[in-house]
Structure 1
């Protein structure tokens, strides 16, 4: 019993250490966002000065809005493309599943510099530039969709493998069209994977620097590119304020998404139990 207690306390201490390593820098960033001074790493009094400055920084606001727009569009497109690829890999391509899975998930393991260079050559090719529009928002969106679709494919494919196919087969036997089976039965079952894939894709798009830097033009500067550019001139605490707002927004979004998914799962379980009783 004594050994078990020591092991339990050791595991708790290790977990606390890991959480401190992960979240202590974020906590420091939040604290320093309320400084009244000019230095980002020192708390010279408490003030909302930099939050007010954040509202007046039009360049930073434009970069945030662009990143949000590109992130939302890329995440939505990645969910559609990744879900389609996952369905094909899990349902219709058992023989060539390994090869196709490797091709689909290649952007996950391939260096972003290589992916970015290939897309730069594609969008700036003299024959394709008039059609594709060259560098800019569309190019960044295409690059982020390519990268994020691979992650969505992995998440959705793993969920499809765990799904009981008897539900789909029963619906097909009862005369339900395959498209309706997918949207009425399959999509609700894999909904948690779709939500997780969208959130992951959105986060990856918001966080990406390499692809955005290589494919941006003067009118399409995303937030990571702008922060990196300002780093050479010295960051102000308003960046800490912006990061604090983003952390708060992401935390609320994750909590709401988890709550919605838990309610959906509880409703599905209740419906299944009611169906078994009847």
Structure 2
């Protein structure tokens, strides 16, 4: 028993290393003082100042636009990609290429997209980031939806086709409702990934507009303030909520499929 308890030490040490700084950040976001390193009392004033910061609000609006647009692209293309790979192909090579954006370093994707935009002479802006994030998140949506496809009942699709329904009708009436929990979970994951993605956005947005992670990066270059802690705490809450919601929807879909 003593040896088994000692085995938990690396486990808890790893969790403390990962999550203790996040906890400190959240606590310091409620600091009444000007310093980001010494706690002087509880206050919500930094959250109020965020609403008055025009640069932060502009970055937030740009980030929400990019996240919403890229989520739509990633969800539609990722769902179709998952259905195509699971139902119409059995190629491991295609599987590898389809999921490659999920395993490639963000820097490689960012440089590749920047070179591609330059090759086709596309002016950089929010739309270029939306396309880039859509391509990046599409692989994650495809992975989530494909996992849902493995638990779906293919006999219902076969029965639909036997009764005379075409592929489109079968997909809309049978396949899509079964995949809906996985699609929503993938969409939430894509939204979360786009919300706090920095490297790809930094390379593909140009010099006119900025997303919120880029704004935060430019602010912390001159030091961390409680205002930045408050902003990071809000982003943490949004990301945490989206991930938990996605996991819950995936579990609900799996339990319904088993029933």
1:117–1:250 Cα change, 3 Å: closer
CA apart distance, 1:136: 1.1
* Offset from partner CA, 1:142-168 (integer Å, 9 cap, x none): 111111111111222222123221111
| Maintained 8 Å contact 1:124/1:135 | no
| Maintained 8 Å contact 1:38/1:236 | yes
- Structure number with greater Rg is 1
| Matching residue of 1:105 | 99
| Matching residue of 2:40 | 44
Distance 2:71 2:34 in 1: 36
Distance 2:249 2:103 in 1: 32
- Once the two structures are overlaid, the 10-residue window that deviates more, 142-151 or 154-163, is 154-163
Alignment of 1:120 onto 2:109: no
* Offset from partner CA, 1:22-77 (integer Å, 9 cap, x none): 43222211110011222222212222221121111110111112112211211121
| Matching residue of 1:171 | 160
CA apart distance, 1:18: 5.3
Kindly report which structure 2 residues correspond to 1:235-274, keeping only aligned pairs within 5 A, or say none: 235-254=224-243, 268=256
1:13–1:171 Cα change, 3 Å: farther
Kindly report which structure 2 residues correspond to 1:167-206, keeping only aligned pairs within 5 A, or say none: 167-206=156-195
CA apart distance, 1:141: 0.9
Alignment of 1:222 onto 2:211: yes
Kindly report which structure 2 residues correspond to 1:114-153, keeping only aligned pairs within 5 A, or say none: 114-125=108-119, 128-129=120-121, 132=122, 134-153=123-142
Match for 2:26 among 27, 30, 54?
Answer: 30
TM-score normalised by the chain length of structure 1: 0.81
Distance 1:34 1:166 in 2: 55
Match for 2:145 among 156, 161, 175?
Answer: 156
| Maintained 8 Å contact 1:155/1:193 | yes
How many pairs align? 259
| Matching residue of 1:54 | 50
Distance 2:247 2:89 in 1: 32
| Maintained 8 Å contact 1:207/1:224 | yes
Distance 1:117 1:123 in 2: 10
**Structure 1, unaligned runs of 5 or more:** 274-278
TM-score normalised by the chain length of structure 2: 0.87
